[in-house]
């Protein structure tokens, strides 16, 4: 895996926000629940359940290419960045390990000690731990930073599995054999929506925005198109950003509206969802008039990017209501 560029690109954003695909997430959660029930039945019956490869493994700089990048073409690899001295890591890691075992082949958990593997941490741009990312088909997918409760982690992993299957056709080595439930036939995808996704993935932002708008003109309630449009518009705003310059401007200008808006966009693209929401909620609380409306509307746009069903959106909506009323 190559070191991260200093400027942002479409692949990074697609990874950060694909987890909000509402339709895919719902299907994955249901499928995962069916799989869990079937695995429990198999365990009671004494049947052999296994993925054919380790579900939890320690990864080093020497094994990263094989165990993470190459493995990600077969199964989503969740990467847990931790350190022995990190208290929150000791709370989160057992949750991740338990869920990796529970999913039994749908994901692999790769644990990376940042003290022993500083080069990998630098390449991933890790600024604090615990930090959890994923690699799917060789593409980086930021998940979250900081401790999360088990319910939220479970939902995020179910959404990751959905994206891996829907976007990349990656299900995991044991998933098909263990589910015990025939997969429901998929509806044919809308060619216009497929074209819009392809434009976004290729970096044709103007084409993607127009394509999503065309879909929404015919299907105003299409949540996948709404999500795609929000993604494309966000990426268009951050294209060419110098992350260091953006963060410096925001730190030096807490009252600079544009600097704070840019920093919130950058937070979201980097997977720091709570930071982005918190920054904008705080900005709404500190501003008035047109500036307050601008900050509020930007926050609502970022809600669209993540998806209304995400618990972090619900928390931020409540915080927004408190500062508004």
- The set of catalytic residues is 86, 89
d(CA 74, CA 170): 6
CA dist 109 and 96 (Å) reads 7
Give the number of C-alpha atoms closer than 13 A to the C-alpha of residue 286, restricted to the C-beta side. Answer: 11
User: What's the rounded Cα separation, in Å, for the pair 85 and 82?
Assistant: 9
Q: Give the containing element (helix H, strand E) for 264.
A: helix 257-269
Do the Cβ atoms of 166 and 111 come closer than 8 Å?
A: no
Query: In degrees rounded to 5, what are phi and psi of residue 140?
Result: -80, 135
CA dist 195 and 232 (Å) reads 13
Q: Nearest 10 degrees: CA dihedral of 290, 296, 297, 302? A: 150
What span, in angstroms and rounded, lies between the C-alpha atoms of 136 and 167? 10
Torsion of CA 292, 298, 302, 303, to 10 degrees: 50
* Through-space distance between the first and last CA atoms of the chain, rounded to whole angstroms: 47
Can you spell out the DSSP letters for 186-240?
Answer: PPPPPHHHHHHHHHHHHT-HHHHHHHHHHHHHH-TT-HHHHHHHHHHHHHHHHTT
- Mapped onto helix, strand or coil, the DSSP state of residue 288 is coil
Q: Which two tokens stand for residue 213?
A: 């708008």
């Amino acid at each position: 895996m190559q070191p991260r560029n200093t400027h942002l690109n479409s692949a990074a954003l697609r990874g950060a926000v694909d987890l909000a695909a509402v339709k895919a997430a719902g299907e994955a959660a249901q499928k995962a629940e069916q799989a869990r029930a079937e695995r429990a039945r198999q365990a009671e019956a004494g049947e052999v359940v296994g993925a054919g490869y380790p579900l939890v493994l320690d990864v080093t700089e020497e094994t990263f290419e094989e165990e993470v990048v190459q493995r990600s073409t077969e199964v989503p690899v969740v990467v847990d960045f931790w350190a022995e001295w990190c208290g929150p890591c000791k709370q989160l890691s057992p949750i991740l390990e338990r869920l990796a075992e529970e999913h039994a082949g749908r994901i692999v958990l790769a644990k990376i000690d940042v003290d022993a593997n500083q080069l990998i941490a630098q390449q991933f741009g890790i600024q604090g731990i615990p930090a959890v990312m994923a690699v799917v088909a060789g593409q980086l997918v930021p998940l979250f930073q900081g401790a999360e409760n088990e319910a939220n982690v479970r939902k995020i992993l179910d959404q990751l599995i959905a994206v891996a299957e829907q976007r990349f056709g990656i299900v995991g080595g044991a998933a098909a054999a263990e589910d015990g439930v025939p997969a429901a036939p998929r509806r044919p995808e809308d060619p216009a929506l497929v074209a819009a996704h392809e434009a976004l993935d290729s970096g044709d932002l103007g084409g993607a925005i127009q394509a999503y708008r065309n879909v929404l003109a015919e299907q105003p309630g299409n949540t996948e198109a709404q999500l795609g449009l929000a993604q494309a518009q966000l990426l268009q705003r951050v294209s060419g950003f110098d992350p260091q310059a953006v963060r410096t401007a925001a730190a030096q200008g807490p009252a600079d509206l544009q600097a704070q808006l840019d920093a919130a966009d950058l937070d979201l693209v980097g997977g720091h969802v709570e930071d982005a929401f918190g920054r904008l909620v705080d900005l709404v609380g500190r501003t008035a008039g047109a500036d307050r409306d601008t900050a509020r509307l930007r926050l609502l746009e970022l809600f669209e990017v993540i998806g209304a069903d995400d618990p972090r959106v619900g928390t931020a909506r409540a915080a927004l209501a408190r500062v508004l009323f």
